[in-house]
């Protein structure tokens, strides 16, 4: 499980579970539409973070007979179900409750004052206290998520928080950052709706702001759904492809590459495939001594009386040439793959095919350059 993502998810889960209970209690005491929608908001956030944790845990499973590259993409599937399902349901419930509250305006009984140790006070003070607690907990959860995201940005050398958030390859952490941001904004909207209703005596302010909270849930569902859909639709890793192109450019024995492709399995795994052409003059120049060593090695394994047989020597010479070429080709492929992995550790699967040996411009194949 990605440590940064799991820390942010667990922090948000604990905070939202506590807030769900407090907000439902405050909503029942105050009959506030905004507070009820905030309770629904926190409940959906809690369920969503539970789904995110399941996704992170499932994604840890190693590759097997059915999942050659591991179970990483299941994380995006759980995130997608959570985003589209839970937040869409939350949006629908919030709008339905706002509509119901709108229809019942004027029919509700006035809030009964609460008695505590002989003191009587308006239940809205409870709502205010709960919203203050929510602001502190949501703010802390948001701080943890943003810190983890900034840490990822520094590790990957990225700048621009908003740009990185929109293009991040860790949708779990993006989900927590976005949810905590929306949760904090929701608290401010609920407080505004309640205060406006108290100061003006008009209950429609509370209902109107409750609708905004519900709409926020719907927008969150749409955004998170689109983010996770990207990783379930064969997204290319342009950073990995650019790194490979740069590595090929700097390799003295590779002339060019073709058919470069990549696919992001999850935020920790990218698969990259390509075809390369080797540079004739560099390959040939480096093979002479290797071929001689291989030829002598083969001849040394033969009885002394057969070493002078011209047919045998021709066979050893041809085999040595083939062996030396294959060995150097395999080494070049491994050098390229190792260089890509070293630069971008997430590229754990590199498949390269040698298309052939490119002749230098103006030279005849097989002739000295």
Longest dimension (CA), the chain: 117
Residues 6+ apart with CB under 8 A from 75: 55, 56, 58, 59, 171, 172, 266
Whose structure tokens read 């209690």? 25
More confident residue, 153 or 274: 274
Q: Which H helix or E strand runs over 53?
A: helix 33-59
Sign of CA dihedral 45, 48, 54, 60: negative
Residues 6+ apart with CB under 8 A from 177: 8, 142, 145, 146, 149, 165
More confident residue, 257 or 226: 257
Q: Which two tokens stand for residue 132?
A: 């203050």
What is the phi/psi pair of residue 65, to 5°? -65, -30
Per residue in 309-356, pLDDT (tens digit) is 888 888 888 888 888 888 888 888 899 999 999 998 888 888 888 877
Question: Is pLDDT at 368 greater than 70 in this prediction?
Answer: no
Q: Domain 3-230 belongs to what architecture?
A: Up-down Bundle (1.20)
264 backbone φψ class: left, alpha, beta (φ>0; ψ -120 to 50): beta
Question: Is pLDDT at 245 greater than 90 in this prediction?
Answer: yes
Euclidean distance between CA atoms 272 and 79, whole angstroms: 25
- pLDDT reported for residue 207: 86
- pLDDT reported for residue 108: 58
Edge-first strand listing for the sheet containing 254-266: 254-266, 269-279, 349-358
Per residue in 270-285, pLDDT (tens digit) is 889 999 988 877 777 7
User: What is the average pLDDT value for the chain, to the nearest integer?
Assistant: 81
Cβ-based neighbour number of residue 37 at 10 Å: 34
Q: Which two tokens stand for residue 328?
A: 């150097």
CB 179 within 8 A of CB 47: no
What does the pLDDT average to over 113-135?
Answer: 74
Alpha carbon 86 to its chain centroid, in Å, reads 20
Question: Is pLDDT at 109 greater than 70 in this prediction?
Answer: no
Per residue in 63-78, pLDDT (tens digit) is 777 777 777 777 778 8
Question: Is pLDDT at 1 greater than 50 in this prediction?
Answer: no
What percent of the chain clears pLDDT 90, i.e. is strictly above it? 8
More confident residue, 224 or 209: 209
Class of domain 238-358: alpha beta
- CB-side neighbour CA atoms (13 Å) of 89: 12
Burial of 80 (0-12, 13-18, 19+ CB in 10 A): buried
The residues spanned by each domain of the chain are 3-230, 238-358
User: DSSP code of 308?
Assistant: T
CB 8 within 8 A of CB 1: no
DSSP one-letter string for 145-206: HHHHHHHHHHHTT---HHHHHHH-S-HHHHHHHHHHHHHHHHHHHHHHHHHHHHHH--THHH
- Per-residue burial over 199-222, b if 16 or more Cβ lie within 10 Å, else e, is eeeebebbbbbbbbbbebbbebbe
- 3-class state of residue 115 by DSSP: strand
CB 214 within 8 A of CB 94: yes
- 3-class state of residue 279 by DSSP: strand
Sign of CA dihedral 315, 316, 322, 323: positive
Residues 6+ apart with CB under 8 A from 12: 45, 49, 141, 144, 145, 176, 179, 180
Start-to-end C-alpha separation, the chain: 54
CB 88 within 8 A of CB 218: yes
What does the pLDDT average to over 154-175?
Answer: 76
Sign of CA dihedral 32, 36, 42, 46: positive
């Amino acid at each position: 499980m990605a440590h940064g993502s799991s820390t942010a998810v667990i922090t948000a889960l604990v905070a939202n579970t506590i807030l769900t209970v407090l907000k439902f209690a405050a909503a029942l005491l105050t009959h506030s539409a905004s507070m009820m929608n905030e309770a629904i908001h926190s409940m959906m956030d809690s369920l969503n973070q539970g789904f995110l944790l399941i996704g992170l845990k499932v994604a840890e499973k190693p590759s097997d007979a059915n999942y050659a590259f591991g179970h990483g993409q299941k994380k995006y599937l759980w995130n997608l179900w959570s985003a589209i399902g839970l937040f869409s349901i939350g949006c629908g419930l919030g709008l339905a409750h706002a509509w119901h509250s709108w229809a019942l305006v004027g029919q509700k009984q006035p809030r009964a004052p609460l008695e505590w140790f002989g003191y009587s006070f308006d239940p809205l003070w409870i709502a205010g206290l709960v919203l203050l607690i929510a602001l502190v907990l949501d703010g802390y959860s948001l701080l943890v998520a943003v810190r983890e995201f900034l840490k990822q940005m520094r590790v990957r050398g990225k700048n621009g928080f908003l740009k990185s958030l929109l293009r991040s390859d860790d949708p779990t952490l993006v989900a927590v950052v976005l949810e905590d941001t929306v949760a904090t904004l929701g608290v401010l909207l609920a407080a505004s709706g309640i205060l406006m209703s108290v100061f003006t005596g008009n209950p429609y302010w509370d209902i109107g702001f409750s609708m905004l909270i519900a709409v926020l849930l719907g927008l969150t569902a749409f955004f998170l759904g689109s983010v996770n859909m990207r990783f379930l639709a064969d997204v290319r890793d342009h950073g990995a492809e650019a790194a490979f192109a740069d590595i090929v450019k700097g390799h003295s024995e590779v002339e060019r590459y073709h058919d470069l492709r990549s696919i992001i399995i999850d935020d920790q795994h990218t698969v990259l495939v390509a075809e390369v052409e080797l540079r004739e003059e560099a390959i040939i120049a480096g093979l002479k001594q290797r071929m001689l060593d291989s030829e002598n090695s083969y001849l040394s394994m033969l009885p002394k009386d057969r070493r002078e047989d011209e047919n045998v020597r021709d066979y050893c010479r041809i085999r040595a040439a083939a062996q030396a070429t294959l060995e150097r080709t395999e080494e070049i492929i491994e050098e390229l793959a190792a260089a890509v992995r070293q630069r971008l550790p997430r590229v754990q699967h590199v498949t390269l095919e040698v298309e052939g040996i490119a002749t230098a411009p103006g030279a005849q194949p097989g002739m000295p350059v």
